[in-house]
Structure 1
Amino acid sequence: MSLGTKLKDAREHLQLTLRQVEEASGISNAYLSQLENGKILKPSANILYKLSTLYKVNLNSLLAAAGIITTSDKSAELSREDEVLNNIAFYAENLSSDEKSQVLEYIKFLRHKKKKA
């Protein structure tokens, strides 16, 4: 997945507009748009740090997507796993007790299904 796509997905996941991100991060709306549209491919690590913090995504995954660092297959796999866990935790904040129970039941179902395979 490209850096721009990762950033746009993360922003939309939080239901933030570019203007809201600009206000929260100090990064200009125009610059953010260029990042998301792939016109800027290698932003500074400082920019990616600000966005990873705001978007609650793993910094190394953004640095790797920008080509600033390289990751081994194992560390890339861990970054994806960390990102999934962060997303689950983020979504859990907005779930009702009933929805949380349903999610837990689904996870149990998936684990049971995996054991049978």
Structure 2
Amino acid sequence: MASLNVGNLGEYLREQRRNAQLSLRQLADAAGVSNPYLSQIERGLRKPSAEVLQQVAKALRISAETLYVRAGILDADRDRDEVETRAVILADPSLNERQKQVLLQIYESFRKENGFGVGEPPAGEDGSGTDGEEPDGTAVRGTRTADQDDAGPRRTAG
């Protein structure tokens, strides 16, 4: 089978899967796709749909937009720096999930302060796996702030 020029996507997915310490089978199960199909995507033999990419992104807890750009679904020049910055933050194994989300919130607030609009949907809608959204549109994953009225603190692992 000839390569469909999605090798860059496949290599990136393999790298992200290994960073997440998941086997091919584990990722396939988490994303709801077959093991052979995911293997073909990683080897650049198949070009997955946006829906499959979103499922894989959610399973890897990375930005779906990054996968869309690498698959050629989104224009690579559109907000490339923002997409790459988000992807680097989300992929950093030295940060826990709470730290990643707080860092993304700070990044978004600086972008807004400097007059850059948010060009992407909130993280919960793009498959990055957040739990919700603040009133100002910033994504939240399992964190609570002092000003949120809540029945109690949310406990998170890590």
The two structures have a TM-score, normalised by structure 1, of 0.70
1:92 match: 95
Deviations 1:25-63 (A, max 9, x none): 2200000100000111x2111100001111122111111
> Which whole-Å CA distance do the structure 1 matches of 2:91 and 2:26 have between them?
20
2:32 to 21, 26, 32: 26
- Which aligned segments of 4 or more residues in structure 1 are displaced greater than 6 angstroms? none
Q: SS where residue 34 of structure 1 aligns?
A: helix
1:43 match: 48
Give 1 or 2: higher helix fraction.
Answer: 1
2:82 match: 78
Displacement after TM superposition at 1:64 (Å): 1.2
> Which whole-Å CA distance do the structure 1 matches of 2:14 and 2:70 have between them?
13
1:14 aligns with 2:20: yes
Q: SS where residue 91 of structure 1 aligns?
A: coil
Tell me the amino acid that sits aligned with residue 93 of structure 1.
N
Displacement after TM superposition at 1:22 (Å): 2.0
For structure 2, the residue ranges without an aligned partner over 5 or more in a row are 1-6, 98-158
CA RMSD of aligned residues (A): 1.9
For structure 1, the residue ranges without an aligned partner over 5 or more in a row are 95-117
**How many residues of Structure 1 are paired with residues of Structure 2 in the alignment?**
91
> Which whole-Å CA distance do the structure 2 matches of 1:87 and 1:69 have between them?
20
Which structure has more relative contact order (CA 8 Å, sep 6+)? It is 1
Tell me the amino acid that sits aligned with residue 16 of structure 1.
L
